[in-house]
Structure 1
């Protein structure tokens, strides 16, 4: 059973914990992170969500995940990248970009600048069905076509690549 720490609208822990399956009340938030892996050609690593996912199956996204109780977004990002892609990153690899409140989620966005050989990735099949690098232009085109999960601030973040 996965537990989440609950945060307030200022991003402070409330001392409450809830199960992942619980519905959060208004003004309650949980932490999540999104990791943009960018190579030296300024291409962005995107991953296609598995077709068995309940939320957004077969949609291209970035590496994302919810933080479990006691975990901050730095440690959670390291865990998610390793679980989903088999890539070991360190705290120093993570460059904090922005915090976004969306729905009942507090998203911390990080960039990781790293060259990766796609053939050496170990994809977590329950989560990820495919990966590829795309240029910023290709990323924008995929956003416009609805192929990549889109949120309001994504264009601002993309402009920082």
Structure 2
């Protein structure tokens, strides 16, 4: 059973640990990460969520995941990227972009500037059914067409790509 550390609305650990399946009380949050992998052409690696996912099946998204108890978002990002798409990254590869607090989740967003060969990726079938690289314009078009998961701050994050 996956366990989560519980944080308050300011991002501080409360000392509580809950099961992933537990309902969080008002003011309780858990940590999650979103990793944007960007190549030297400013193309973004996106992944299609598996059709068997409970949340957002078959939707294009970025590499995301929840942190397990004892894990910070740097280590969790490394783990999630390796598990979901088979890319090894290091802490120094992760560039913190921003923190977003939404409902019961504290999202830390990171950029990783790295060229990847899509043919060498190892997809975690339970999580990911496909991957592709898209330009910033293609990404924006996919957002407009509701083909990629959208959240209010995503355009701000997108504008930070160098």
Post-superposition offset of 1:51: 0.1
2-structure distance, mates of 1:149, 1:23: 24
Post-superposition offset of 1:27: 0.3
SS of the aligned residue for 2:142 comes to: helix
1-structure distance, mates of 2:64, 2:8: 21
SS of the aligned residue for 1:88 comes to: coil
Question: 1:111-130 alignment to 2 at 5 Å?
Answer: 111-130=111-130
2-structure distance, mates of 1:121, 1:23: 35
SS of the aligned residue for 2:87 comes to: coil
The equivalent of 1:105 in structure 2 is 105
* TM-score, length-scaled by structure 2: 0.99
Post-superposition offset of 1:128: 0.2
SS of the aligned residue for 2:83 comes to: helix
| Alpha-carbon displacement from aligned partner over 1:80-109 (angstroms, at most 9, x marks no partner) | 000001100000000000000011000000
Q: 2:118 matched to 1:92?
A: no
* TM-score, length-scaled by structure 1: 0.99
Gaps of 5+ in 2: none
2-structure distance, mates of 1:17, 1:146: 35
The equivalent of 2:62 in structure 1 is 62
Q: 2:75 matched to 1:75?
A: yes
Gaps of 5+ in 1: none
Post-superposition offset of 1:75: 0.1
The equivalent of 1:148 in structure 2 is 148
Runs of 4+, deviation exceeding 3 Å: none
Post-superposition offset of 1:154: 0.3
1-structure distance, mates of 2:103, 2:60: 21
Post-superposition offset of 1:36: 0.1
Post-superposition offset of 1:79: 0.1
2-structure distance, mates of 1:145, 1:101: 25
The equivalent of 1:42 in structure 2 is 42
